[in-house]
Amino acid sequence: MIARTWHGIVPREKAEAYFKYLSETGVQECKATPGNRGVHVLRRIDGDKAYFLFISYWESMEAIRAFAGERTELARYYPEDRDYLLDLKPHVMHYEVLTAPDVDIA
Query: Which listed CATH number (1.10.260.40, 3.40.50.300, 2.70.50.60, 3.30.70.100) goes with 2-96?
Result: 3.30.70.100
Q: What confidence tens digit (pLDDT) does each residue in 33-58 have?
A: 999 999 999 999 999 999 999 999 99
* Average pLDDT of the residues of the chain: 93
On the question of pLDDT at 86 being above 60, the answer is yes
pLDDT at 104: 56
CA dihedral for 67, 71, 73, 76, sign (positive or negative):
negative
Q: Mean of the pLDDT values across residues 70-81? A: 94
Domain residues of the chain, as ranges? 2-96
Is 0.75 topped by the overall pTM?
Answer: yes
Strands (E), 1-106: 2-11, 36-46, 49-58, 93-96
Q: Mean of the pLDDT values across residues 71-95? A: 95
